[in-house]
């Protein structure tokens, strides 16, 4: 088939776009692990985290896991992805949304006892918004402690 100049340009710029898209896709797959903002507790348990280095761990704070040390700012709590759990120790200011059942992301290092010593704790919220009354009635009708899908729940 004869190629008109226009068709040639269509093929040229079409293949430029396709090429860029494919290389972006490959790069995305290749760097997938490096571009993770945080690790799940399961990844921590499997030893996939950088040894001896600072990293972030994210998950949901289970009910009853928050313990404040008296006389200091230190808070001990856990994060879970419902398969594995990481113990976290943190002293400092917590974000407004920090509470049981909330997704959080902690930045720090594992110590010798396997406790994650954090120097920064961020709250992660989900994409659902609702008025307080709706939330309250949902709580009454459904399982009261069903956690909102939190950090890491969308990622295996």
Residues interacting with another protein, by CB under 8 A? 6, 9-10, 13, 16-17, 20-21, 24, 28, 32, 35-40, 58, 94-97, 105, 120-136, 151-152, 154-155
- Residue closer to another protein (CB basis): 69 or 136: 136
Shortest gap between Cβ of 128 and another protein (angstroms)? 4
Burial of 71 (0-12, 13-18, 19+ CB in 10 A): exposed
Number of residues assigned to the chain:
156
- Residue closer to another protein (CB basis): 65 or 98: 98
Tokens 């996939």 correspond to what residue? Answer: 48
Shortest gap between Cβ of 90 and another protein (angstroms)? 12
Per the CB < 8 A criterion, the answer to whether 129 and 123 are in contact is no
Shortest gap between Cβ of 103 and another protein (angstroms)? 9
Instruction: Identify the CA nearest to 55 among candidates 120, 139, 99.
Output: 120
- Residue closer to another protein (CB basis): 10 or 46: 10
Per the CB < 8 A criterion, the answer to whether 94 and 121 are in contact is yes
- Residue closer to another protein (CB basis): 117 or 123: 123
């Amino acid at each position: 088939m004869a190629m008109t100049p226009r068709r040639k340009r269509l093929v040229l710029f079409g293949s430029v776009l396709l090429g860029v898209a494919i290389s972006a896709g490959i790069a995305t797959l290749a760097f997938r692990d490096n571009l993770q903002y945080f690790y799940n507790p399961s990844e921590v348990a499997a030893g996939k985290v950088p040894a001896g280095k600072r990293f972030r761990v994210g998950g949901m704070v289970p009910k009853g896991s928050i313990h404040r040390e008296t006389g200091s700012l230190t808070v001990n709590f856990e994060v879970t992805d419902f398969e594995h759990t990481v113990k976290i120790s943190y002293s400092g200011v917590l974000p407004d949304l920090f509470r049981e059942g909330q997704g959080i992301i902690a930045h720090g290092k594992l110590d010798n006892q396997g406790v994650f010593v954090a120097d920064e704790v961020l709250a992660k919220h989900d994409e659902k918004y609702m008025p307080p009354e709706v939330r309250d009635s949902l709580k009454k009708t459904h399982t009261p402690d069903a956690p909102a899908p939190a950090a890491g729940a969308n990622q295996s």
